[in-house]
Copies of this chain bind each other. A is one copy, B any other.
């Protein structure tokens, strides 16, 4: 992963790690933060039968959960020091069943705006080391400054 963006906040990596650690859903689902670059994030989750749909594939919503966090933190990494991030919307296309030993989720910023950022993220399954694209997301993230109850 290489990135064309420069982070405004030199402490972006620490800021992302701290906020990610506060997302209880990540810990509960076993999603881990693998890489952080300005405008780029990589997450990983092992297969977990507890989060499957009726055919034993990882539920599309769980794939969305990881992709949304990947998008959000990619955008957050480029935001000013005092900003928080909220998801405005996202859309996911499911390309193949989410079956595999583990899953990789990459998010990157397409446009970093003052108020609104747009990100792309992709989900891959890994089976015995073979990687396959299983889902693609585009999302819009909002820079929130000074709103009560919405901190980093």
User: B110 and A93: CB pair below 8 A?
Assistant: yes
Give the CA-CA distance A53 to B84 in the complex, in Å. 12
Quick one: copies of this chain in the complex?
Answer: 4
Interface flags for A16-38 (1: CB within 8 Å of B; 0: not) read 00011011110010000000000
User: Cβ of A125 < 8 Å from any Cβ of B?
Assistant: no
Please, which residue of chain B has its CB at the minimum distance from the CB of A84?
B55
**Smallest beta-carbon distance A141→chain B, Å:** 10
Across the interface, which residues of B come within 8 angstroms of A69, CB to CB?
Answer: 53, 59, 61
Interface flags for A33-74 (1: CB within 8 Å of B; 0: not) read 000000000000000011111110001111011111100000
Give the CA-CA distance A134 to B142 in the complex, in Å. 16
- Beyond A95-B110, A95-B111, A118-B95, whether A62 also contacts B25 by CB under 8 A is yes
User: B93 and A140: CB pair below 8 A?
Assistant: yes
Contact of A87 among B94, B115, B152 (CB under 8 A): B94
User: Cβ of A88 < 8 Å from any Cβ of B?
Assistant: yes
Q: Restricting to A116-152, which residues have a CB under 8 Å from any CB of B? A: 116, 118, 120, 133, 136, 138, 140, 142, 149-152
Across the interface, which residues of B come within 8 angstroms of A50, CB to CB?
Answer: 24-25, 28
Give the CA-CA distance A136 to B129 in the complex, in Å. 31
- Chain A residues packing against B (C-beta within 8 Å): 19-20, 22-25, 28, 49-55, 59-62, 64-69, 84, 86-97, 110-111, 115-116, 118, 120, 133, 136, 138, 140, 142, 149-152
